[in-house]
């Protein structure tokens, strides 16, 4: 037994000695490779035919219905009462649709305005307005303007019917250069004007939108001159392939009577417009056409109308340009409205034979917009004014055979809610006339209107009007002409309204602050500095 144990121990000693020797040999980190490995890949086996999966067969089931009895299933109706939502006790605020204003000025100038309107109504709206304003500083430099007008509108789900009636009475004198005047120098103009129309309301945006109506006015003076104007008109609008087509049609008959003389003119207008909008580009195509006839002639006029615009900066800058032309009626009413002191009339049509224009328009900010425009036109029978010395130095109408007019115009407007509003317009004109000078027409003028609201308590208003010098002539009884020059104009006006509460306010207006007694029409000086103040009540 002991011998066996000794043999085992000797064997274990020998084995451990070999293992220790082997471990020591691994520390050399030396490896011997006897054969280079050459990996070999077997060639791929390709399938010689394309797979052809079996297409499943689809069979549509055939359903047959026969001998199915008619059966009515009865249902019971159950009504549940829905509790209404409460909107509180607040009611719509009461509208103050009416106001009256009275005032008085330092040149014996009373004024009064009254406006009355209906309350809220979904079916009808009506109102009436009346105004008187006059001045009498002494002598014949006096005037009186009176107006009363009313309107009514009837609404229905499919249409709107509206009508307006107006009466005006304006009185003045030919006070230029005459120390003593009589009743023949009085200028009294009265107008009765009525208009009515019917327009439809469409729910389909592709439908035809139209407005048809008629108008009539009678304009007459205190010297047996009487003018009647009757109009029939239709305004049509319909989208064609997403773009608007607008057409204006009008028949206008003007009849002028002077004692035994009766002069009638007839105009028929047809003016279509079609506007294409393609991305940033718009193109308006159309024409203005008029058939004119009187006791002597019958003549058609047609003028192309083309305007194109391209948006250079979205919502900020658009370039535009175009060509146009038209025929303007010169009526007794239109001339007397522009120049109150006209006695020698003329009624030729002013024909804008050709006009080309272009410019830029856009926005400088969310509340500020602008327009810059340049244009040139060739006009036949452009209207000018001279002085007739044989009739109290009244104004006399002059027509130029051919006039070319260059116009540069700039406009900028800014509006911030009801707190601030401002509008500035600047015009420059260059006339190339057949007559010696563009009688009584300015070459440069500006207009500025501004309003500033301070806390809904004080409303500040300012108006500035300027015009450069003008040239005209005095017509002598023997046919002579004497050139004269009218000085430039600066007319500055300022007004303050103080709102005591939502019902009562007071106002004061300061007119011609620079005290410039200029002459817009030669021989007729305007009032110098004057003011007018008063009270306004809304109810």
CATH code (residue 455): 2.40.170.20
Whether residue 400 is contained in a domain is answered as yes
Strand-pair category, 186-200 with 159-173 = antiparallel
How crowded is residue 398: how many other Cβ atoms within 10 Å of its Cβ?
20
- Rounded to 5 degrees, what angle do the CA atoms 190, 191, 194 make? 160
Label residue 519 by pLDDT band (50, 70, 90). very high
Mean pLDDT, the chain, integer = 88
Written as six digits, the tokens of 166 are 């107006």
Q: In the prediction, which pLDDT does 66 show? A: 65
Q: What is the pLDDT of residues 250-300, one digit of tens each?
A: 999 999 998 888 999 999 999 999 999 999 999 999 999 999 999 889 999
Does position 3 have pLDDT exceeding 70, yes or no?
Answer: no
Q: Which of 129, 158, 163, 161 is nearest to 146 (CA)?
A: 129
Label residue 22 by pLDDT band (50, 70, 90). very low
The sign of the CA dihedral 519, 520, 524, 526 is negative
Does position 484 have pLDDT exceeding 90, yes or no?
Answer: yes
Written as six digits, the tokens of 359 are 């410019």
CB 317 within 8 A of CB 305: no
CB 405 within 8 A of CB 431: yes
* 185 phi/psi in degrees, rounded to 5: -85, 0
Tell me how far apart the alpha carbons of residues 353 and 344 are, in angstroms, rounded to a whole number. Answer: 26
Whether residue 422 is contained in a domain is answered as yes
Whether residue 454 is contained in a domain is answered as yes
The sign of the CA dihedral 496, 500, 502, 504 is negative
The CA distances from residue 257 to 217, 230, 232, 312, in Å, are 14, 15, 21, 54
Does position 205 have pLDDT exceeding 60, yes or no?
Answer: yes
Tell me how far apart the alpha carbons of residues 369 and 351 are, in angstroms, rounded to a whole number. Answer: 32
Whether residue 442 is contained in a domain is answered as yes
Q: In the prediction, which pLDDT does 26 show? A: 45
Range of the domain at 442: 330-539
Written as six digits, the tokens of 462 are 């300012």
Whether residue 403 is contained in a domain is answered as yes
Length of the chain: 539
SS3 440: coil
Q: What is the pLDDT of residues 233-264, one digit of tens each?
A: 999 999 998 899 999 999 999 999 988 889 99
> Pick the residue with more confidence: 89 or 495?
495
Label residue 25 by pLDDT band (50, 70, 90). very low
Q: What residues have CB less than 8 Å from 328, skipping those under 6 apart?
A: 349, 350, 351, 352
What's the total number of domains in the chain? Answer: 1
Q: What is the pLDDT of residues 122-173, one digit of tens each?
A: 899 999 999 999 999 988 889 999 999 999 999 999 999 999 999 999 999 9
Q: In the prediction, which pLDDT does 276 show? A: 95
Q: In the prediction, which pLDDT does 125 show? A: 94
Label residue 345 by pLDDT band (50, 70, 90). confident
Strands (E), 417-488: 420-433, 444-454, 458-467, 470-475, 481-486
Whether residue 166 is contained in a domain is answered as no
Q: In the prediction, which pLDDT does 30 show? A: 54
CB 275 within 8 A of CB 306: no
Whether residue 281 is contained in a domain is answered as no
Contacts 24+ apart (CB under 8 A), 370-374: 370/410, 370/411, 370/412, 370/413, 371/409, 371/410, 371/411, 371/412, 372/409, 372/410, 373/407, 373/408, 373/409, 373/410, 374/406, 374/407, 374/408, 374/409
Q: In the prediction, which pLDDT does 184 show? A: 84
| Portion of the chain with pLDDT greater than 90, in percent | 70
Strands (E), 279-367: 281-293, 298-313, 317-328, 342-344, 350-365
134 class by beta-carbon count within 10 Å (0-12 exposed, 13-18 middle, 19+ buried)? middle
Strands (E), 201-260: 209-221, 225-240, 243-258
How crowded is residue 162: how many other Cβ atoms within 10 Å of its Cβ?
17
Whether residue 484 is contained in a domain is answered as yes
The CA distances from residue 177 to 387, 393, 480, 517, in Å, are 11, 7, 18, 15
DSSP code string of 117-175: E--S-SSEEEEEEEEEEEE--STT--EEEEEEEEEEEEE-SSEEEEEEEEEEEEEEE--
The CA distances from residue 388 to 47, 140, 343, 348, 480, in Å, are 115, 19, 9, 19, 11
How crowded is residue 87: how many other Cβ atoms within 10 Å of its Cβ?
7
């Amino acid at each position: 037994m002991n011998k066996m144990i000794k043999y085992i121990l000797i064997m274990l000693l020998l084995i451990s000695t070999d293992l220790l020797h082997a471990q020591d040999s691994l520390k050399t980190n030396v490896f011997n490779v006897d054969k280079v490995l050459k990996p070999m890949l077997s060639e791929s086996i390709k399938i010689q035919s394309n797979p052809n999966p079996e297409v499943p067969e689809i069979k549509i089931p055939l359903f047959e219905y026969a001998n199915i009895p008619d059966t009515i299933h009865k249902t019971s109706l159950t009504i549940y009462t829905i509790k209404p939502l409460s909107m509180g006790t607040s009611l719509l605020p009461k509208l103050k649709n009416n106001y009256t204003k009275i005032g008085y000025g330092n040149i014996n100038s009373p004024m009064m305005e009254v406006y009355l309107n209906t309350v809220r109504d979904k079916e009808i709206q009506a109102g009436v307005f009346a105004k008187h304003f006059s001045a009498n500083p002494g002598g014949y430099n006096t005037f009186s303007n009176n107006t009363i007008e009313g309107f009514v509108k009837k609404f229905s789900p499919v249409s709107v019917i509206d009508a307006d009636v107006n009466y005006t009475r304006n009185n003045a004198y030919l006070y230029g250069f005459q120390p003593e005047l009589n009743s023949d120098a009085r200028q009294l103009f009265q107008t009765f004007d009525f208009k009515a129309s019917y327009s439809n309301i469409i729910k389909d945006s592709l439908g035809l939108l139209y407005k048809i109506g008629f108008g009539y006015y009678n304009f007459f003076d205190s010297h047996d001159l009487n003018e009647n104007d009757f109009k029939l008109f239709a305004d049509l609008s319909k989208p064609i392939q997403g773009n608007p087509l607008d057409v204006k049609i009008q028949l206008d008959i003007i009849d002028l009577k002077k004692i035994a003389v009766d002069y009638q003119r007839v105009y028929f207008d047809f003016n279509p417009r079609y506007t294409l909008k393609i991305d940033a580009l718009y193109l308006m195509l159309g024409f203005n056409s008029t058939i004119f006839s009187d006791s002597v002639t019958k003549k058609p006029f047609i003028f192309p109308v083309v305007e194109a615009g391209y948006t250079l900066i979205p919502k900020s800058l658009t370039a535009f340009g175009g060509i146009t032309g038209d025929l303007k009626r010169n009526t007794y009413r239109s001339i007397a409205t522009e120049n109150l002191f006209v006695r020698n009339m003329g009624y030729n049509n002013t024909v804008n034979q050709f006009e080309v224009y272009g410019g830029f328009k856009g926005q400088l900010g969310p509340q500020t917009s602008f327009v810059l425009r340049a244009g040139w036109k060739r006009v036949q029978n452009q209207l000018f004014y001279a002085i007739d010395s044989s009739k109290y130095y009244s104004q006399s109408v002059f027509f130029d055979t051919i006039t070319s007019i260059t116009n540069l115009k700039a406009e900028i407007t800014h509006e911030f809610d009801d707190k601030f509003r401002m509008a500035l317009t600047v015009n420059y004109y260059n006339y190339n006339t057949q007559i010696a000078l563009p009688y009584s027409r300015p070459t440069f003028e500006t207009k500025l209107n501004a309003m500033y609201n301070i806390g809904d308590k004080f409303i500040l208003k300012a108006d500035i009007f300027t015009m450069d010098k003008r040239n005209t002539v005095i017509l002598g009884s023997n046919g002579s002409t004497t050139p004269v020059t009218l000085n430039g104009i600066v007319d500055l006006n300022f007004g303050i309204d103080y709102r005591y509460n939502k019902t009562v306010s007071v106002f004061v207006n300061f007119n011609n602050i620079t005290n410039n007694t200029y002459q817009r029409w030669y021989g007729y000086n305007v009032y110098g500095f004057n003011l007018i103040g008063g009270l306004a009540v809304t109810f």
